[in-house]
Structure 1
């Protein structure tokens, strides 16, 4: 096994702490969570420093306990009916032109959280009519009536992460399956407005092989997924799934070339790439074509 104890230089990111503190103060005042902070994203300083954030709705605690994820697993809170308004207000105060809305899994709710996604989209549209919206959703257990609700709200980008290749999915994801996630993406692509882009992301360094990654790309292209993000898995703690490899930059570049050749509209492939990182730039690149 490759040396995984020595962290690569690209993990050492510098940023303006003053801007980060200002962003944290604003979000705390509005009682909002971000996946940037809750999941200890390595890009927190970059995104917060530039005045962008990915809002995580429906509380900080998840009903699932995926072995790769640093979002806490625990008791969930009741749905906050004022949260959609606060997200919209934060978007307005920050002057965001593109906003990402994600969530914890809420398997405890009858609608699994779909209604809250819809309400957040509606409130953002009401207060920020010129802001584009990306949602990064759970699998909603594959329930198409819930996917229909979110699709009907017309987000500009509908994102649901595959996370990893087929063979590793049972080892690192809780309750989610490879085929369910693939069917979610397929359903959204088939039923969402043509103006909605469909997106997914995966992590590297879990023990995947090149043929497995290429097969995943083929599975995604077979259902016409538009965007693909590829980034490095960073093990949050010793209790999480063991990191197998710091993947070299050359392999990210190779995956980028192959993925673009397979027909994705946009691919981001680099160690620090996360699903919602540079999302605004991604959408602008495609819209500008």
Structure 2
């Protein structure tokens, strides 16, 4: 894994208030690249303590110590995508991934540090009961999208109207998600730093500080 953040003008970094770090594939390092994520978070927090950082990660092969190392780096939002329902895992995802493994990663990220915000995403055409599962491990945010890049990819069976996307957003929030982004152009990092999520991070940080005092 190589994480590169370039600013032509150093002053530009001071204007950034929310950053999403991710990797294009699984890492062959023993910790799955968790250490790189963690050190990058620490470096950015050192440069700008009030910057908010989200990491969209793999499942680190189910290594919960790797999950914990990242969570305790100063991270604000831990994101890992479930992608699809359990029944379609082997068809859609890397064979090294697993539905229960993904849930265990999200659950551990949530519970090994008080106030950690967790986030997951699914592809709409691979939807159904997967909407509910992250809720069982206290995941706060959810994004839902629809996309078929080429004929070699899974077929989109139905054109989903904006009204239907809106109804799923409403349903997701009604069953307990604090935030749902649902739309045909939504991706896992879609408007990640928008006001609601940033406010939620700040609220939790403020509450934690009050308890510590």
How does the TM-score come out when normalised to structure 1?
0.63
Partner of 1:253: 166
Partner of 1:228: 142
* 1:138-177 matched pairs, under 5 angstroms: 138-175=58-95, 176-177=97-98
Contact 1:88–1:123 (CA<8 Å) still a contact in 2?
A: no
Contact 2:54–2:75 (CA<8 Å) still a contact in 1?
A: yes
Separation (CA, whole Å) in 1 of partners of 2:40 and 2:93: 26
- Structure 1 segments of 4+ aligned residues over 6 angstroms from their partners: none
Partner of 1:87: 5
**Residues 248, 166 of structure 1: CA spacing in aligned structure 2 closer, same or farther, 3 A cutoff?**
farther
What is the CA distance between 1:149 and its match in structure 2? 1.0
What is the CA distance between 1:257 and its match in structure 2? 1.5
Match of 2:184 among 244, 257, 271: 271
Separation (CA, whole Å) in 1 of partners of 2:29 and 2:166: 41
Partner of 1:187: 108
Separation (CA, whole Å) in 1 of partners of 2:44 and 2:28: 25
Contact 2:76–2:201 (CA<8 Å) still a contact in 1?
A: no
Q: Which runs of 5+ in 2 are unaligned?
A: 204-213
How does the TM-score come out when normalised to structure 2?
0.84
Count of residues in Structure 1 that have an aligned counterpart in Structure 2: 199
Contact 1:231–1:271 (CA<8 Å) still a contact in 2?
A: yes
Instruction: Report SS of the residue matched to 1:134.
Output: strand
Partner of 1:178: 99
What is the CA distance between 1:110 and its match in structure 2? 1.7
Partner of 1:125: 45
